[in-house]
Chains A and B, each alone.
Chain A
Amino acid sequence: MKPDSQNETESWKRLMVLMTRHQRQVFAYIYALVPNRYDAEDLLQETSLVICEKFNEFEDGTDFVAWACQIAYWRIRYSRQKFARSKVVFNQEIVDALAQTASTMTSELDSRHEALGNCLQKLHPRDRELVLTRYEPGSGVEEAARRSGRTLQAAYKALARLRKLLLDCVSDQLARRGVT
């Protein structure tokens, strides 16, 4: 293998590892700033393209998530017009404030994600089914209501209750472990 080709391959391997490992965190960051699943997924794709193009600028040993979130932030700024159709579009001032807050919480969100897995297991299977159906790709509240035999209104209420339950459970688990 030629040296250049070898370097490219190594670089690509590192990129793949980093992207695969951290895309959930980047998605969480984007979703906080653009609270619409499909818009956030679009932005995740666009961000990934820019990351690939600019990966030679990434310095080993620095924080990949922070770097990727910075790219995502600029993609969001660039695309705000595109997302104007969304029901909720935060003004730039709010986006900036949220971006600042979210960028300091990536580690905490990681811990919360892990704790959420345990909390999901503690739910009654019927409730867990409802929550996971709601969040399945291509699904939504209507589908969750239909599959669980609830009315739409009852499903909305149940989901709100369960999200609060999970939020509290996660906070409780982190507090016990000394994570704030």
Chain B
Amino acid sequence: MNLADKEILELNELCNALVEGMLNEAQKARLLHWLAASEEARRFYVRAMGLSASLFGYAGEMQVEAPDATVSLAKIIRVGWLWKLGSLAAAASIALMLWIEWPRQNTISAAVTVDDFVAQLTGSKGCQWVDSNSFVQPGGRLHRGQRIELAKGFAEITFDSGAQIVLQGPASLDVNSAWAATLNRGTLKASIPPEAMGFSISNPTVEVVDLGTEFTMFADAIGVATEVLVLKGEIEAQPNAGADQQPIVLREKESRRFATSGVSAVRDSEEKFAQFTQAVPLDHFIPPTDYMHWSFNEADGGVFKADASGAPFAAADLQLENISPSEFATAHGAGRWGLALQFDGHLFAKAAFPDISENTPHTVAFWVKVPKDANLSTAYAMVAWSMNSKKFGSHPIHIGWNRNPNEGTVGVLRTDYGGGFALGSTPLRDGRWHHISVVLIPGEEDGKTFVEVKQYVDGRLEGEGKPSPPGSEIFSKLSGATSGTVWLGCRLGIDRVRQERFRGQMDELFIADRALEPLEIVQLMRDNQLPQSELAAAKK
């Protein structure tokens, strides 16, 4: 028997109530009656419940940006550690693990961890390291917790926050994070730009919190005393030893000695000020920068011209998509510098860019203005591309704003990548221009990290990458459909552009072929051009 429309409506209502756990006794009786009496009703019921079962699956996939494709044997066996389990009994437990992960089964989980690099050796002069274990190569990145042991000479360390320290040997310094270091012994001079305000240096006798300044510290070899001299600006110093541990604010040309016995004046402070005010000429390790740049200064049309610097990049113009030629004018508006590209929540843009998917460092920088009333459905990527790794496969990278309140403040900058995401802290939905820079450093092909991400908003470090919730470490086979192209204003699946879009304005997009340093990012924000060091310029 076929169900009448009225009966279908009743069954549908009963199924809805059941799915939402709101079935009352009368409804339950009606449902049981239908299921007992009618095969057609049972078929309708199975379809309705099947719809919800499928939606659990799709929602799980969407949440973790999973591919739609069915997993293949080749993908399964890439999870190499499973093969260490020889017996079916052991295999059973592994299979169970995969089963439990439903509905994220159609994905490939790679063991992804985040190598936490937080600083870089950016300059040196006559450096001699204590031993081969403490050797840091010029330009080498420094990880969280790394100890720098300098026997002689000068080493300039630039933290990802933008804080810069020149360490004078003999000295020992622990790199605690992008925002903190410990001076174990020796002398340092710290230069802290406004973007890194709050950077701190500590040791057993004192913790110095920078309030936007330049200062120097000298710690003796046995951790008994530390001298602090403020060259510019001001600091807050918190004594860690002695009877009086009240914080002290020190201003320009002021100094103190912090010892286990207490706080006192610095002897010969004038001579020391004179000594530390002298600039030390260092050799810097800034490689040349090749980049692509779209100014978006075209007043009309569906194409935005690219200008490029350097051999690896061929200029590729951006082409508007999902918009009719008669509507092109709506995509052009006033920008932060000249004109800007306007995303209406429907259009997107793309440009061929073969190098973007390569397993090499990149910095993506641009200005963005997000409307105050931007809603979650237009929160998708401002910039996106597929990044390929021989080890892990391919994964889309998305730079957008956070739409998941469970993972952070809604509206802050968010970068999603394979196995992790980074969240900022500045709300972007304020109708104002913000400068965004995202630095991506791929992991080694034989390492455990897919990519490491640093975000900068208005020149300030906001959000280092952290692991995603389980299930998001998803990779596919290298995809030709989205690789080699930079996509603006849309969301990428593994092998196609999804329907979700971005609403807002974008201006002055730069994509550079290396990890720009924090100070370079600030300079780009201020000058709208990438700085070229003398060394870099000489190489060109």
* Chain A residues with a Cβ under 8 A of chain B: 5, 8-9, 11-13, 15-17, 19-21, 23-24, 27-28, 31-32, 35-37, 41, 44-45, 48-49, 51-53, 55-56, 87-88, 90-91, 93-94, 97-98, 101-102, 105, 108-109, 112-113, 116-117, 120-121, 125-126, 128-129, 131-139, 141, 147-148, 156, 159-160, 163-164, 166-167, 170-171
Contacts and interface: CB of A to CB of B under 8 A. Distances in A.
Interface string B77-100: 100000100111001100110111
Contact of A52 (B47, B51, B59, B92): B92
B438 to A, nearest CB: 25
A137 B63 contact: yes
Nearest to B54: A113
Given A15-B95, A97-B36, A112 B54 contact: yes
11 contacts: A13-B77, A20-B71, A28-B50, A32-B50, A91-B32, A112-B50, A112-B51, A117-B58, A136-B60, A137-B56, A163-B51
Nearest to A19: B95
B53 A24 contact: yes
B105 A32 contact: no
B281 interface: no
Q: Closest 4 A-B residue pairs measured CB to CB?
A: A52-B92, A135-B59, A125-B377, A48-B99
B43 A24 contact: no
Nearest to A160: B16
A105 to B, nearest CB: 5
A97 B53 contact: no
B452 to A, nearest CB: 27
B294 interface: no
Contact of A88 (B23, B53, B377, B405): B23
Nearest to B25: A87
A18 to B, nearest CB: 10
Contact of B102 (A41, A133, A136): A41
Contacts, number: 202
Interface in B436-494: none
Given A48-B96, A91-B32, A136-B62, 13 more contacts: A12-B91, A19-B95, A52-B91, A88-B28, A98-B35, A101-B42, A112-B50, A112-B51, A116-B58, A135-B59, A163-B52, A167-B12, A170-B51
Contacts of A44: 99, 102
Contact of B53 (A5, A21, A28, A148): A28
A147 B51 CA distance: 22
B367 interface: no
Given A24-B103, A109-B46, A94 B95 contact: no
Q: Give the dominant DSSP class at A's interface.
A: helix
Contact of A126 (B36, B68, B377, B406): B377
B346 to A, nearest CB: 10
B202 to A, nearest CB: 39
A161 to B, nearest CB: 9
A139 B407 CA distance: 13
B221 interface: no
A139 B469 CA distance: 14
Contacts of A160: 12-13, 16
A117 B493 CA distance: 13
A51 B99 CA distance: 11
A109 B79 CA distance: 30
B16 A55 contact: no
A55 B404 CA distance: 41
A62 B146 CA distance: 58
B92 A129 contact: no
A125 B39 CA distance: 36
Nearest to B96: A48
Interface residues of B, number: 64
Contacts of A113: 50, 54, 57
B1 interface: no
A21 B91 contact: no
A39 to B, nearest CB: 11
Given A17-B76, A121-B499, A137-B59, A147 B88 contact: no
Nearest to B86: A5
Interface in B91-145: 91-92, 95-96, 98-100, 102-103, 105-106
Contacts of A27: 53, 56-57, 102-103
B527 interface: no
A60 to B, nearest CB: 15
Contacts of B39: 101
Given A24-B103, A167-B12, A94 B50 contact: no
Nearest to B27: A88
A113 B106 CA distance: 14
B45 interface: yes
Given A117-B58, A117-B68, A52 B95 contact: yes
A19 B88 CA distance: 14
A21 B71 contact: yes
B70 A21 contact: yes
Contact of A105 (B46, B55, B70, B103): B46
A167 B47 contact: yes
Given A13-B73, A45-B99, A48-B96, A132 B62 contact: yes
B77 A135 contact: no
A36 B47 CA distance: 16
A112 to B, nearest CB: 6
Contact of A132 (B21, B42, B53, B59): B59
B48 A167 contact: yes
Contact of B32 (A31, A94, A120): A94
Contacts of B46: 32, 98, 101-102, 105, 109
Nearest to A180: B43
